[in-house]
Structure 1
Amino acid sequence: MPKQKITKQIILDSAFKLLRFSGHEAVNARSVAKSTGCSVQPIYSYYENMSELMQELFAYTQQFLSQYIEKNASQECYFESIGKCHIRFAKDEKYLFRFLYLSEYMNAASFEDIIRQCTRDDVTESIMNTLNLSAEESKKIYLNMILYTHGIASMIATGAADIPNEDIHRLTDEAFRAFLDQSRKEA
């Protein structure tokens, strides 16, 4: 029987599986090779180093998150459901959440970096259309809610808190109303 050819996609899938179930600290050349059923040679034939693999794994994980959001977000109240998806993702996929948002691979040195990496244009548009706000007001509310929900999600993903869903819904609704009221007072 001919030996299976190890492809770049097989290596990436193996690295993703390790990341998803064991965390990014468990992803190294030897663990990926073992999971793939090969030596480290195929890994280094596709990737110059592990840093390159981890960067591609980060982009791959971002795609997974986008698919997760598309599957779980409600179109009825899109903006609200995005924040709740973020928190649910932290509960459902704690290692992926940590990799995307709590590791050095996020590489955010400013709020602009956070906005660039964490916001979605369709959400800003939804806020503008639903609440009849300017683009600037919508971005401000969106950033405030990202930071607020990210705090809750981070506590959940790291095991610091196990907040019941009904409390999460109440707290995020209250925070949103407070941010919206503040935005309207400033307008």
Structure 2
Amino acid sequence: MARKKTITKDQILTAAYDIVATEGFSRFTARNIASKMKCSTQPIYLEFKNMDDLKAALFEKIETYLRDVVFARVVTGDPLLDMNLNYVRFATEEKVLYRSLYLEGHSGEAMLNQFSHDLFMENINKDPELSQLDTEMKTAIFSGTWIVATGIASLKSGGLINPTDDNIKALLNDVISSVTKNDKNQILTKPVKEKQA
């Protein structure tokens, strides 16, 4: 008779998520996850091919959490402003997870950047006026608002500033207004060229 599994894929993912959310990606190892579950590393490698496979599954779990919980909260009723306000709130309420995802290197940057960009585009396309803009202008608004929101989030998370939601909304609206009124604005739409070695 086959032995019944006592540790499931979901339990492993939950333990991995808890480690990243409370200790950061530097602690994301099979040994630390196993220790949290009070087991050997064997169940991890029975459920996942390797740690990269586990990390990919973890990012899917995190993206679902961000989409369905963090960014889903209605603050103003404007999806674009709400996304940025929720991002700042996330940085102040879940400091370790925010820093782990958005400020530390963890090899999932491309996936997280794509997720953030796609979610932004979904939200901008809900706005009757902004949805009419071309892709380049939408990208410029994404870059501008994301830079401002990240600066505020990082400083607020570190306790260096404490702007109100109204202050943040005003800054974000200034960025949106600046980009949409100045279609010659190339600073935010042109990719930065990497220096040649």
Query: Do both proteins adopt the same fold according to a TM-score greater than 0.5, normalized to the shorter chain?
Result: yes
What is the match of residue 168 of structure 2? 168
Give 1:127-166 correspondences, 5 Å limit.
127=127, 129-131=128-130, 133-136=132-135, 137-157=137-157, 159=158, 161-166=160-165
Q: Which structure 2 segments of 5+ residues have no match?
A: 187-197
Cα distance 1:185–1:31, how it changes in 2: closer, same or farther (>3 A)?
closer
Task: Give 4+ residue runs of structure 1 displaced > 6 Å after superposition.
Answer: none
Match of 1:55 in 2: 56
- Secondary structure of the 1:86 match is helix
Given candidates 115, 118, 134, the residue that maps to 2:116 is 118
Amino acid at match of 1:134: L
Letter in 1 for 2:180: L
Q: Secondary structure at the match of 1:72?
A: coil
Q: TM-score, normalised by structure 1?
A: 0.78
Structure 2 Cα separation of the partners of residues 44 and 132 of structure 1: 45
Q: CA 1:60 to 1:106, structure 2 compared with 1: closer, same or farther past 3 Å?
A: same
Deviations 1:38-61 (A, max 9, x none): 111111211233232222212211
Query: Contact 2:34–2:41 (CA<8 Å) still a contact in 1?
Result: yes
The 5 A counterparts of 1:25-40 are 25-40=26-41
Aligned residues with identical type, % of pairs: 25
Q: Which runs of 5+ in 1 are unaligned?
A: none
2:193 is aligned to none
Deviation at 1:74, TM superposition (A): 4.1
Q: Which digits, 9 at most, give the CA deviation of each residue in 1:92-132, with x for residues without a partner?
A: 222222233222333339xxx94x331223213124x1446
Deviation string, structure 1 residues 142-175 (Cα, Å, up to 9, x no partner): 2321222123223444x27343335434433333
RMSD across aligned positions (CA): 3.0
Matched, 1:93 2:91: no
Structure 1 pair 34–132 and aligned structure 2 pair: CA distance change class (3 A) = closer
Whether contact under 8 Å (1:90, 1:97) holds in the other structure is yes
Range moving further from structure 2, 2-11 or 143-152:
2-11
SS at match of 2:107: coil
Q: 1:97 to 1:9 in 2, by over 3 A?
A: same
The structure-2 alpha-carbon separation of the partners of 1:67 and 1:132, relative to structure 1 and needing over 3 Å to count, comes to closer
Name 1:177's counterpart in structure 2. Answer: 177
Distance (whole Å) between structure 1 residues aligned to residue 39 and residue 18 of structure 2: 16
Q: 1:76 to 1:168 in 2, by over 3 A?
A: closer
| The structure with more helix, counted as a fraction of residues | 1
Counterpart mapping for 1:60-79 below 5 A: 60-74=61-75, 76-79=77-80
CA spacing shift, 1:69–1:75, aligned 2, 3 Å: farther
State the distance in 2 between where 1:132 and 1:51 align.
37
